[in-house]
Structures are given as C-alpha cells and as structure tokens.
Amino acid sequence: TTQNVTITNGVQSNASVVYAGLPVLIDLVLDQAYLTQASQKTDGSVAMVAGRDALLRVFAHADRANVLAPTVRARIYDGVTLLQTLTLNGPGAGVPVALTEGTLSSTWNVVIAGANVRTATRVLVDIDPTNGVSEADETNNIWPRNGTPQSLTVNTVPTFTIRFVPVAVKSLTGNVTVGNMNQFLTTSRLLWPILDVAADVRAPFTSSADTLLSNDSNNNWLTVLSEMNTLRSVDGAPSTMHYYGVVKVAYNSGVAGYGYVPGRAAMGWDYLPSGDGVAAHEWGHNFNRPHAPCGGAAGPDPLYPYSGGDIGVFGWNSTTNALVTTTTKDIMGYCNPKWISDYNWTKVMTYRQASGAVASAGTNGEGLLVWGRVINGKVMMEPAFRVTAPSSAPDARPTHFVDALDTDGNVLLTLPITAEKVDHVTSHDERQFSVILPWSTTIEQALSQVRVRDVRTPLLSASRTSVTAVTAKVSRSARAAQPLVMPDPGSVVGVVPGGRIRVQWNTARYPMAMVRDAATGQVMGYVRRSGDAVVSGGRRLEVVYSDGVRSVIR
C-alpha cells in the first residue's frame, strides 16, 4: 500500500512498482430449501402432513473453498402472516463448494414444530442476512430468487383409527393390551402420512381356526382374517376404523401377517419389536399399496419407480434426527433395512384423504351377517347369522351381489358388495367379504336362501339354504303360513379350566355357532366343532346357532 522512493533534485529518478489486481469477491449462492417429514424429493414436491414436525433443510454453496460460517435466516409464513423467524447455523468447516444432500452436516437445518406446519405454509430463506460477507453477487443469496415466500403442499389427513383385537387360536392368545398397543404403532407413526392416532383394545376374540402354521398350508391365517373382517361388521364399528387382530404363534419364522388390499382389516403376530414392522406393512396393504419389488414379494407394484425396492430419495428419521440413505428398502417389500419411499408416502396420503371419511351405512338395527371367501373365483360362503348391527351400504363398484331369496326362488333383496383381495397369498387368488343385510318383516317370514354371485360371471355363485325353512314350507303347503319354529340345537354349555366356555350342540343341523356377550351382543368367538371352547372373560354368554341361513339363540 506504500513504497519509499529516493529522488535527487534536478535529476530524473526511476522507481519500479510491483502490484496485483484486487481479488474477485467470493460468491455465496442459496440453491434450494425443502421440508421433510419422512421422505422428500430434492425439489420439495412431496406433500406433507399438517400439524406434524418437519425438518427444514437449506442448501447453499460457495464458488471457492473457504472457512466462512454465515448464518441462514428462515422465515415461516401462514399465508401472508409471518409465524416465526429462525436463525440457522451452518457447516462448521466453511460453506460447501458443492451440494451434498446425503449428510446433515452439509446443510443448514432446523426442525419446524408441527404447530407451524399448516396447509398455507410458505417459506423464505436467505444466507448471510446481515451482509457480513462481502460478495461479488448478493442477488443469489435468497430463495426463492424473486423474494416471494415459496408455497408448500401441506395436507390435512384423517385420524388413523385402529382397534386391536387379541385373538385366541386354540390355547394361544395374542398379547396386545392397552399397555403395549403403542409398541405396534411406532413404525407406522414414523413412515406413513399419519398425525393423530386413536387406538383401543377390544375384548379377546376366540377364532374357529386350528393351529396357525408358518406356511399357512392349512389356510387358518386366512380363516382368522375373514373372522376379523366380520367383527368390524357385527361390532358396528365406524366406517373409518381399522381392525387389527394380534395372534400368538408357536414358530419364529414364517407367515407373520395378512391384510386386505385395500381394506380395513389386517392381522399379525405379537412378537415385538418385529410385530411393529409387520403391522406397518399390513396397514400399507390396507392403504391400497401392493408390494415393493424386493425379496421375492408376491405381486409387486409394476409402477414402483426405483429398482430393487429402494426408497430412491433421502429419508429423515424424526426420532433420531438422522438421514436415511436412498438405498434403504421400502416398507412394502421383504428386504431390510426398511423406510418409506416418496412414491408410497404420496400414494398412501392420496388414498387416506379420499377414503378417510366414508359415510356410515346406517344406524344399528337387525340384520343378517353374510360372509365368506372367493378362491380363484369360486365363492365359498360361511353360515349366515342374525345380528344387531348397521346394515352395509351398497358398493358403487361391486365385484359380487348378495341375494336373499324365498323358498320359490324369488329375490327378496339384492346388495352389491366387494370381495376384498388378500395380500401375500401366493398359491391362489384370495378375496373375502363380510356384509350385513338389512332385516325386515318380509325377510323374517320368507327367507330361505342366501346367494352370492360374481358380477362379471353370474354362474360363479354359491348359496346357503335353510333346511328348516324349506321343510316348513312343505309342511305348511296346504294351510296358512305360521311363524317359523327353529329346531332345538341340543345345546350344552359348560365352564372349563382357563376361563373358557365349552359349547356342544347338534352340528348336523346347525353347522356353526357364534358366541357373544349376553349383555352387549359383542361377538366373543366362532365355533365350528362341537366341544370347542371360547374365552369368556368372566362374561355371561349366549350362543347363536346357524343352520346356514337362519339362527336360533340359546
């Protein structure tokens, strides 16, 4: 900046000056910002859940290596209203010279409280807001570049309502209680677009299934699932409520769960913490998600966008505040470790928003439970039971029709229904149904047969006929109709050790029995074999015997 030169009066003197040009100022560039709750694309286009904590990540770089430590200012708006202004400290080793999404230490980060994640959330961020760094270009220090806060897609989602059911199969009862039920919800709270959860535990239910096998070669897992579906109908559960049966098995590896795709019933084993991941996977099926293509999972989603079932983008674990790598596997596959892809997060959010407020079919009243399975298109009906429950609404896009007929084959009532597909079944195509037909005086007097037929192929049908009703018609053919009297089932009910009630009856006339709480009508179990027992829980019970169509109570 200074240089001494010696000159002589009257004589020309020379001096040499060495100089360098003033260096070009550094340039800080704010590239991008996004919020994430579990899975997010780099452009921030994945929608979020209103009211749920989110991680704000801000990406910036410098045009050369440096040791600067500028702060970032983040302003969070609800529409035009400023909610909060945050100061974010950045990487300690200087502003990065390249974008690196895979480490939190390369970005400016802060958790935004759920109260400030709203449907009209907007974000505006800038780096070095106090201009403490002299720069070549200050105009690229803000995002968005135009200085207008960026609108984010934030959706309100319905409450996830779940009823856990401890299921007794033979001598084993699934271990789920009010005390441990939240341990089955940990993964789902992290991975699915869920905010509020309303969970409870139902009274134990005794299945008519035999021993659950690791490969389900006897189809008893499917029997339990079908029965679980009927409980939703017979209990008169809200249309938005999921039923989740919890079973105990005598093996450590094999079938761990089943669920409908889509639907509101599923089941899984009670091993924890394994059972937590199983529940999250099965609820993914209930949310209309097929398998991700990994680990040989049956029926993988042909539109899944990432090879090998990878999640494809970076995830964020809000519990540990850690990133999840892009090669982690999606929860809907069979590979580990698991997280959620942006693809399945988005699909589930869309599905839950569309299906979260299905109208109830009606108020509690008398009805007829009609249920069963469809195996490779063949309908297999279970015995129908007279119940007190809301009748089922007609399905707008049915797969089958249920017909109630009299002894002359006249149709008394037709209900369009959907048989829901079951996941994981590889040996055959399995679908199941459970509906409540409305009861009326006409049906009371005339019902003789219940038929279920395929909408597309009417010849694919099955029916149950009341022998009692047919016999009564023949005996009354020459005289006026009289009230139908059901034959005595020969019921013998007794207490056995372990707090169970043994039920014995004439199975030749009545193929199945339903045991329920005499005070509340809540179904406590189904019995197919005379002499089997049901967990009573100390309740006073009544038994409903079905001849296939009509019922008698003892």
Q: Measured between alpha carbons, how far is 237 from 12 in angstroms, rounded to an integer?
A: 107
Lowest-confidence segment of 13-27, 95-109, 425-439, 515-529 by average pLDDT? 13-27
Q: Is the pLDDT of residue 184 over 60?
A: yes
The answer on pLDDT for 361 being more than 50 is no
pLDDT exceeds 50 at position 171:
yes
Average pLDDT over residues 42-53: 97
d(CA 549, CA 444): 11
Calculate what percentage of the chain has a pLDDT beyond 90.
Answer: 86
Half-sphere exposure of 297 (CA within 13 A, CB side): 24
Distinct helix (H) and strand (E) counts, the chain:
6, 37
Q: Residue 207: which H helix or E strand, with range? A: none
In this prediction, residue 471 has a pLDDT band, given cuts at 50, 70 and 90, of confident
Mean pLDDT of 365-391: 96
pLDDT band at 18 (very low <50, low <70, confident <90, very high): confident
The whole-number average pLDDT for the span 370-382 is 97
Asked whether 174 and 246 are in contact (CB, 8 A), the reply is yes
Model pTM?
Answer: 0.91
- Give me the pLDDT at residue 468, please: 76
Q: By the 8 A CB rule, do 206 and 535 touch?
A: yes
pLDDT at 22: 64
**Above 90 in pLDDT, residue 278?**
yes
Averaged pLDDT for residues 493-509:
92
- 360 has pLDDT over 50: no
The pLDDT of residue 359 is above 60: no
If pLDDT is split at 50, 70 and 90, which confidence band does 364 have?
confident
The number of beta carbons lying within 10 Å of the beta carbon of residue 345 is 27
Task: Examine the pLDDT at 94 and tell me if it is beyond 70.
Answer: yes
The pLDDT score that the predictor gives to residue 479 is: 45
Cα 196 to Cα 36, 114, 192, 199: the distances in Å are 18, 12, 11, 10
When the pLDDT of each residue in the chain is averaged and rounded to a whole number, the result is 93
Confidence grade of residue 365 (pLDDT, cut at 50, 70, 90): confident
- Total Cβ atoms within 10 A of residue 45: 12
Environment class of residue 458 by beta-carbon count within 10 Å: exposed (0-12), middle (13-18) or buried (19+)?
exposed
Determine the pLDDT at residue 358. Answer: 46
Q: What is the pLDDT of residues 189-202, one digit of tens each?
A: 999 999 999 999 99
pLDDT tier at 304, thresholds 50, 70, 90: very high
Question: 246 near 167, Cβ under 8 Å?
Answer: yes
E strand or H helix at 215: none
Q: Where are the beta strands (DSSP E) in 353-480?
A: 364-375, 378-381, 385-390, 400-405, 411-417, 420-421, 430-438, 449-454, 461-465
Q: Which residues contact 378 (CB under 8 A, 6 or more apart)?
A: 460, 462
**% of the chain exceeding 70 in pLDDT:** 96
Query: What are the φ/ψ torsions at residue 298 (nearest 5 degrees)?
Result: -70, 145
The pLDDT, as a whole number, for residue 380 is 97
Amino acid type, 227:
E
